[in-house]
A = this chain, B = another copy of it.
Amino acid sequence: MTEHTVKSYDEELAHLTNIIARMGGMAEAQFAAAVQALTRRDSDLAARVVAGDARVDELEQEIQSFTVRLLALRQPVASDLRHIVAALKISSELERVADYAANVAKRTLVLNQLPAVKPVSAVQHLARIVQEILKDILDAYIERDVEKAIRVWNRDEEVDDMYTGLFRELITYMMEDPRTITACTHLMFMAKNIERIGDHATNIAETLHFLVVGSPLQGARPKGNTVEAE
């Protein structure tokens, strides 16, 4: 972080948006690489994703120190305070997105030692939808686009429903062929991790609404009929 080149308060706030965007890009790339490693059964790539998580964690630490310094030195109020609090929250959401991506990669390493099973493709399909949602919310953050954030927020139910369908598919698959139980339970956790990435995108949508509009997103949070909100 080039703190010495950052002079004015406005520049500091703009800098904050930039590092959040950068962290978003990193989380997005980690998730994309994790999905690719799963698709190609590529253990090298999966191992790189696992190792790469440390960089995202470092960036979160940097953002935390920077925001604490801003809070202490600038005593922000109103929309500036919202900006800083939002940055703190979004950086912790993105850290968790990257964490889940790393978990998907860790399980890919295990899966690659087992015979391939068919339901992998359903997990990939879920991942594609969640990748779209993550991309949209990062775009919305950069553009401060509340309408786009609300559209992301409304897609949470779609992801939950897809996850529930996938959960049932995996159960059926395991019952039909108990030899696939180990692989399918790993896929189940991977699907859960991916569904959780979608939840974090929804959280970012809520924070973005609060940041731009100054009030919480109205209405009950969209929830599918999945029993596990985890």
Interface of A toward B, CB cutoff 8 Å: 68, 71-72, 75-77, 81, 85, 92, 99-100, 102-103, 106-107, 109-110, 167, 170-171, 174-175, 178-179, 181-182, 185, 188-189, 192-193, 227-230
Q: How far is the CB of A41 from chain B (nearest CB, A)?
A: 16
Task: Indicate which residue in B72, B85, B178, B179 contacts A81 across the interface (CB closer than 8 Å).
Answer: B72
> Copies of this chain, how many?
2
Cβ B178 vs Cβ A103 within 8 A: no
Complex: A178 Cα to B192 Cα, angstroms: 22
Cβ A230 vs Cβ B100 within 8 A: yes
Cβ B171 vs Cβ A103 within 8 A: no
Q: Which residue of B lies closest to A82 (CB)?
A: B68
Cβ B175 vs Cβ A181 within 8 A: yes
7 A-B pairs with the lowest CB-CB distances in the bound complex, closest first: A103-B230, A71-B71, A175-B178, A106-B227, A178-B178, A174-B181, A110-B227
Cβ B72 vs Cβ A72 within 8 A: no
Complex: A230 Cα to B230 Cα, angstroms: 12
Residues of B within 8 A of A109 (CB): 227
Q: Which residue of B lies closest to A50 (CB)?
A: B229
